[in-house]
Amino acid sequence: MAKTQKIKLCIIFGGRSGEHEISLKSAASVISALDPNEFDISVIGITKTGKLAGSADVQGMLPPQVLSRIRIRAFLEATGMRITDGVSQESGNFHDSPEIFFPLLHGPYGEDGTIQGLLEIAGVPYVGCGVLASAVGMDKDIMKKLFLQAGLPVPPYRMVIAREALKNLKSLKQKMSQELGYPMFSKPANLGSSVGICKIHSEKEFEEAFLCSSQFDRKVLIEKGIDAREIECAILGNDDAKASVAGEVVPAHEFYDYNAKYMSPDSRLEIPARIDDRQMSEIQDLALRSFRAIDGSGLARVDFFIDRKTDKIWINEINTMPGFTPISMYSKLWAASGVSFEELVRRLVRLGKEQHQEKSERRISAI
């Protein structure tokens, strides 16, 4: 019997965002979980300064136990060329070229359409959402506007330009107090992993919270606080995407902030969530509708609130490249839905190839 050819998968990880460390954990988790007899894994590291990482850099970014399972690349191979730290060079026929790239980058400069744009220009297949969906999924303001246009339930919020708001925070505080009431949240429009998100319990906390959030983006969302359960649902697929069972996040802190997500051992996930069949069905339907609203492809995780008093379901946000750490919800939701971690990666690879093939067959010129 002929030996099955390994899948040549290249993981891109690291990056300039504040979620650099989470990306390192995601990459190490994926590498550790995949069968080296089935996957030929190579990696491209990106440092915190945005440079392509050399061999020594990568060895410092990943745990020692996974280094023997990977090959380190110092360049990205495009169609007919290689890109090495910003310099393009003509390439020959690289027999070990990856079949597909997996951009395990979270936050700005990775999950926001930037690396997806580079991969599109390079003409190579990759896992996950395209440029538009990735950019929209990162910008909470534009995302919520599209959700509202699609008739999806979004908690009341206001978007303000930080530089303008800082000129008169007292006026903004009064306006938000009247329109939204307390508690409320301040959030950077473009960031993930709850970085820069602050819960505002009263007027005296408003200015400090806004100043915190405004450090991370030019746009800040002020959102009505809801006493809610936090529910998440995973999406897998392209035009025929499917939704997983929903799970509930039970945070160690008052809300699911960065420390509760990645540091505290007291946060826990309940999969499936303890909700009735009607709520499960509604959440799965809303997750798929939100995925279509941003023109998603490959994968996403959609986060919801269920109001503890009214049971109303609200969409919080969509994440187009959710974390792949051992405690991450995305892979756990699919495991509970009958899809193992390795099968999940196989499907993501197949979906990325299908999306690339479909694009390559379209005409881009009338001539």
The CATH T-level fold of domain 137-153+227-354 is D-amino Acid Aminotransferase; Chain A, domain 1 (3.30.470)
Residue 236 phi/psi, 5-degree rounding, is -140, 125
Considering the chain, tell me which residue range(s) the CATH 3.30.1490.20 domain(s) occupy. 157-224
pLDDT greater than 70 at residue 31: yes
The predicted-structure confidence for 49-60, as pLDDT tens digits, reads as follows: 999 999 999 999
What is residue 39's predicted lDDT score, i.e. its pLDDT?
93
What is residue 260's predicted lDDT score, i.e. its pLDDT?
46
What is residue 309's predicted lDDT score, i.e. its pLDDT?
95
What is residue 92's predicted lDDT score, i.e. its pLDDT?
45
Torsion of CA 92, 96, 101, 107, to 10 degrees: -90
Which amino acid, residue 204?
Answer: K
311 versus 363: which is more confidently predicted? 311
What is residue 266's predicted lDDT score, i.e. its pLDDT?
63
pLDDT, averaged across the chain: 89
Candidates 3.30.1240.10, 3.40.50.20, 3.40.630.30, 3.40.50.1360; correct CATH number of 7-126?
Answer: 3.40.50.20
Tokens 């999969």 sit on residue: 271
Q: Please state the rounded mean pLDDT for residues 21-27.
A: 93
pLDDT greater than 90 at residue 363: no
CA 127 to chain CA centroid, nearest Å: 12
pLDDT greater than 90 at residue 125: yes
Tokens 């107090």 sit on residue: 177
Quick one: how many helices (H) and strands (E) in the chain? 13, 16
pLDDT greater than 60 at residue 85: no
- CA distance linking residue 18 with residue 134, whole number of Å: 17
Residues with Cβ < 8 Å from 231, sequence gap 6 or more?
246, 247, 248, 249, 273, 275, 283, 303, 304, 305, 306, 313
Q: What is the pTM of this model?
A: 0.88
What is residue 1's predicted lDDT score, i.e. its pLDDT?
41
The predicted-structure confidence for 224-255, as pLDDT tens digits, reads as follows: 999 999 999 999 999 999 999 999 998 765 55
Considering the chain, tell me which residue range(s) the CATH 3.40.50.20 domain(s) occupy. 7-126
The predicted-structure confidence for 252-285, as pLDDT tens digits, reads as follows: 655 545 554 445 456 689 999 999 999 999 999 9
Which ranges in the chain belong to alpha helices (H)? Answer: 20-33, 55-61, 64-67, 114-122, 131-138, 140-149, 162-165, 169-179, 203-214, 258-262, 277-293, 329-336, 341-360
- CA distance linking residue 87 with residue 80, whole number of Å: 14
pLDDT greater than 60 at residue 193: no
pLDDT greater than 80 at residue 83: no
The CATH T-level fold of domain 157-224 is Dna Ligase; domain 1 (3.30.1490)
pLDDT greater than 70 at residue 165: yes
Confidence of residue 88 (pLDDT cuts 50, 70, 90): very low
The predicted-structure confidence for 291-336, as pLDDT tens digits, reads as follows: 999 999 999 999 999 999 999 999 999 999 998 876 789 999 999 9
pLDDT greater than 90 at residue 90: no
- pLDDT > 70 in the chain, percent: 88
